[in-house]
Every structure is written in structure tokens, then in C-alpha cells.
Amino acid sequence: MLLPVYAGDNAANFRRALASVTTDQLLRPRQLVIVRDGVVPEPLERVITDAEALDWLEVSVLRLPASIGLAAALDQGLPLCRFDIVARMDADDISVPERFALQLPVMEAGTDIVGSAIDEIGNDEHRVLATRRVPLTHREIHAAAGYRSPFNHPSVVYRAGLVRAAGGYGDLAHIEDYWLWVRLLHRGARAANLEQSLVRYRVSTGSYKRRGGLRMLRAELRLQKRMFAAGYIGPLAFLRNVLVRGTYRLVPTGVRKLGYRRAFTVRT
């Protein structure tokens, strides 16, 4: 399990996230790698030290002296993962108890990346706000990758060796997971998503705001240029993506939230 944490995370949510991927799992992990992305407040540090005290689980903690961002933090933490199958989640999300028990058999059958649908939650983890669906089969995932990220990043389990061979997450900040998926798929990685929601993804009032603005527009344009230069998309797909996805980055937050949920989620 590879799990980053930074100063902006909530200590109580982080503790709940850790329990959900360790003691609460029907099939427990053999290693937990925590990447502390810069100095964190004392309550967060206490949760990390409590995790290190677990006597039944190998816990590796990388304490970075300064925050370097999610993509770089994950690339720094990946070499600490001793097993080839690595699961991902963020510090304020919750994995359902069946998550690894459902994903690991698919990996053992020969798949290289396995994700799932996720449920959006707010402060109340038992109240599902919406469900983010993803394409299920390898063929559907490969087809979707030309215009959208085909995985919910916090739900993914992947082969670390393939990620390392592809160069890791890389330097494309804010949209690093999408860039990783398309590279892995075009290198021949076998992919699947499970229809069940295996992660509860915590959203806040700022979650959809962070998806927009000039910073995200620049990241989007860099991604599309790289995908085009690598031959992953053609000129028409490039123009379509710049128009559609670029517009999405610039519309008001309320419109962005509504559009995203209509396109990729099902309200409950």
C-alpha cells in the first residue's frame, strides 16, 4: 500500500484511511508505505508514529523535509515498496473491507492495473453523494484513455515494476495519473476495472474548484501535447480534447461540478 500524506490533510480522516487499508481489510496488506510530503502538524505526525508501532505489518515511512507534490512524492515512495503489487489511496479516503480481496485475484490472473468505481462522500462517510463509474474491460479502458482518465486513481492496484519501467508518474503535475495510465496502456499493460465501488472518495467544497483555473488548463495542454507527440492520439482527438477538456478547466466551479457528475458519475 502506497499512501502519501501532507500538511493539509486531516488527522482523524488519515487515521480512518489507515484503518480501512490495514485492520479493516478482509485480505490484509503485507506492507504499508507512507510518504510524508513535507513537515506535517503534530496530530498527523502522531498518526504516522502510531502506524509505525503496528507489530503485525511492515510499515515504511519516508519523511520528506519539504513538500514536493503528489507525483514526485509517489515516485519517491515507490522504491520503498518491496512487493510488485502496489495499491494506491489518498490520506482522506476509505477503502471498503472487500477491496483487496476482490482486486488481488484479478491481478494474480495476469492483469497489470486494476481499479474500480468509487463513491463520493463528504464528512459523513456513510452518505454516498455520487458514484464515479469507469470503463470495465481492457478494450473499453484503452478506448476511453484517448479522451479521459480511464481509472479512479485512489482505487488502483498496479504492478510496481511496470510503473518503474515507464518512468514513474513523471513531471506532469496535477494530472500525473492520467499521463501514467496512457503510457502503461501503450506499453502493453493489461487493464481492468471492477464495477463495484471499492473506495469512498472524500470531496469538499474545494475539490471541484481545484480541477479548474489557469494552472489546470496549462497542465491539461501539456498533457494533450505529450499524448499527441507520443502518437497516443491523432490531430482530431487532440483538437477535441483541447476544446472540451480545456473548456472544462475554465468554466465556473458549479458548472464544472455539474458537468463532471453528469459525464462520469451517478447520483444516489
Q: Is the pLDDT of residue 124 over 90?
A: yes
**The residue type at 166:** A
What confidence score (pLDDT) does residue 246 get? 84
2-204 carries CATH number 3.90.550.10: yes
Domain boundaries, the chain: 2-204, 205-268
Average pLDDT across the chain, whole number: 92
What confidence score (pLDDT) does residue 268 get? 47
The length of the chain, given as a count of residues: 268
User: Which of these, 181, 155, 158, 159, lies nearest to 98 by C-alpha position?
Assistant: 155
Residues 6+ apart with CB under 8 A from 219: 172, 173, 174, 175
**The residue type at 60:** S
Residue 54 binned pLDDT confidence (cut-offs 50, 70, 90): very high
- DSSP per residue over 142-165, as a string? HHHTTTS--S-GGG-EEEHHHHHH
**The residue type at 135:** P
pLDDT tens-digit readout, 141-185: 999 999 999 999 999 999 999 999 999 999 887 889 999 999 999
User: Which of these, 150, 142, 157, lies nearest to 107 by C-alpha position?
Assistant: 157
Residues 6+ apart with CB under 8 A from 164: 78, 79
Q: Sign of dihedral through CA atoms 148, 85, 197, 54?
A: negative
Segment 72-79 shows an average pLDDT of 97
What confidence score (pLDDT) does residue 211 get? 65
Let me know how many helices (H) and strands (E) the chain has, helices first: 10, 10
pLDDT tens-digit readout, 96-122: 999 999 999 999 999 999 999 999 999
Residue 247 binned pLDDT confidence (cut-offs 50, 70, 90): confident
What confidence score (pLDDT) does residue 151 get? 98
* 31, 85, 148 from 59: Cα distances, Å: 6, 16, 34
Global pTM exceeds 0.85: yes
- CA pair distance 31, 92, nearest whole angstrom: 19
Burial of 55 (0-12, 13-18, 19+ CB in 10 A): exposed
The percent of residues in the chain predicted with pLDDT above 70, rounded, is 91
CA atoms within 13 A on the CB side of 241: 23
User: Which of these, 155, 159, 166, lies nearest to 83 by C-alpha position?
Assistant: 159
Residue 20 binned pLDDT confidence (cut-offs 50, 70, 90): very high
Q: Sign of dihedral through CA atoms 89, 140, 135, 177?
A: positive
User: Which of these, 208, 198, 179, 185, lies nearest to 20 by C-alpha position?
Assistant: 198
Cell 453523494, residue located: 129
